[in-house]
Amino acid sequence: MAEKIFGTDGIRGRVGEYPITADFVLKLGWAAGQVLTRSCEGKKHVLIGKDTRVSGYMFESALEAGLIAAGVDVGMLGPMPTPAVAYLTRAFRASAGIVISASHNPYHDNGIKFFGSNGFKLPDTIEGEIENLLTNPIHTNSSEHLGKASRITDAAGRYVEFCKASLPNGFGLGGLRLVLDCANGATYGVAPKVFGELGAEVFTIGADPDGFNINDGCGSMHLSQLQKAVREHRADLGIAFDGDGDRVMMVDHKGEIVDGDELIFILAFFRKKTLGSCNGVAGTLMTNVGLEHALSNLKIPFERTKVGDRYVVEALLKNGWSLGGEASGHLLCSDINTTGDGIIGALQVIRALEEQEVELHKAKKAMSKFPQRIVNVPRKKDKDLTQDKPVQRAIARAEKKLNGKGRILLRPSGTEPIVRVMVEGNDHILVSSLADDIAEVVRHCIA
């Protein structure tokens, strides 16, 4: 049986440790080239984008070599947000798109994400086929059947125009003061152009990548700098992306954080009340139950999926819906792009605010979040926590105290070596205490 290397969002890990090594990624490029282009007629063509990590140069070259060995032409996009690669894969009619990124992780991690020719992330079955092929030795094509590589110089401009075109004709951002936190990541070159060309007065932070400072105290995971900058510039709101630009979080004019669940509600409310077109919303197991209740009050159906925007997309496609996402900031507007898109999501929220003539601070108040606490416990070893008696006893004690008025979720992260302990209820003091108690038991179990 082939080894399982794909997680919830591609392949990810620490650079230099298997499988995030140059030799493995070279073979991965070869295997992916075989699987993702087998149904293509004529010349095979794959796009490669990356974020700003120093290791991206190495893995870009490794993927390029593997793909060319398999007879695939490669289009090099350079630093480019993950959703941009999804869009450009469709725009260029490419066989597939590949992103070199570890998203919100620190610089010493990296990863590989794949998109099919339709711009959607790969289903589990295709990932399994790639994993199976990795057990075979690399076969390099003869010279006349090798691929070629080229640099696509207008990729950024194409994506900027795509983002701007997601708004109605004539809709601009004139008169708005915005602070953008680009996380020293893949949005640093395109996000300021999008918002600036739409007429906003833009202040930027986290837009000076050096290969090592991606997500370092900035971006959607670290909002204190953005909160400070919004107050200092007296901005209307602040927008924070993560390292690869598929997440977005916001800060209102008072410096208060507005998370993904609240942003989804703002979009759902606008689409229902103003556009009359919100027929359902997809969230995940981590979605705050307050969003579920708020959507119910609007008579908008809601469905939970496994954690990961790819599963949210699957639910949207299955139900014929177009809006979903996660509290972490993945916003899915599937009527615009095929994956979570931080820039597109931010633009849609601003449109909702402007057309309803409401400030972000007031708009988020229309949804009441349940107290929720998430504790991340470092995972030094894998263990089935559903079979661990001390952990299950701790959960049982907590559930008794919640008395049916809350939720408990333990979930190994698919992108980091941690276990997330989430407790949700109607009493924030109790919720916090129970989360800490369970996390301590889990910590002893997996230390």
List the domain boundaries for the chain. Answer: 11-152, 174-256, 259-341, 372-446
Q: Which positions ≥6 away from 259 have C-beta within 8 Å?
A: 249, 327, 328, 329
| Whole-structure pTM value | 0.93
Q: Look at residue 290 in the predicted model and tell me its pLDDT.
A: 95
> What is the rounded end-to-end Cα distance, in angstroms, of the chain?
29
Q: Which portions of the chain are predicted below pLDDT 50?
A: none
What pLDDT score does 42 carry?
75
The CATH superfamily holding the domain 11-152 is Alpha-D-Glucose-1,6-Bisphosphate, subunit A, domain 3 (3.40.120.10)
Chain centroid to Cα 176, Å, comes to 26
Which residues carry out catalysis?
103
Q: Identify the CATH class of 372-446.
A: alpha beta
CA 48, chain centre distance (Å): 17
Q: 259-341 belongs to which homologous superfamily?
A: Alpha-D-Glucose-1,6-Bisphosphate, subunit A, domain 3 (3.40.120.10)
State the alpha helices, DSSP H only, in 177-308.
191-197, 224-233, 260-270, 289-297
Helix (H) or strand (E) holding 410: strand 406-412
- pLDDT attached to residue 1: 60
Is 11-152's fold the same as 174-256's?
yes
Rounded Cα gap, residues 342 and 248, in angstroms: 5
- CATH T-level topology, domain 174-256: Alpha-D-Glucose-1,6-Bisphosphate; Chain A, domain 3 (3.40.120)
User: What was the pLDDT predicted at 51?
Assistant: 98
Tell me how far apart the alpha carbons of residues 24 and 235 are, in angstroms, rounded to a whole number: 46
Distance separating alpha carbons of residues 135 and 350, to the nearest angstrom:
48
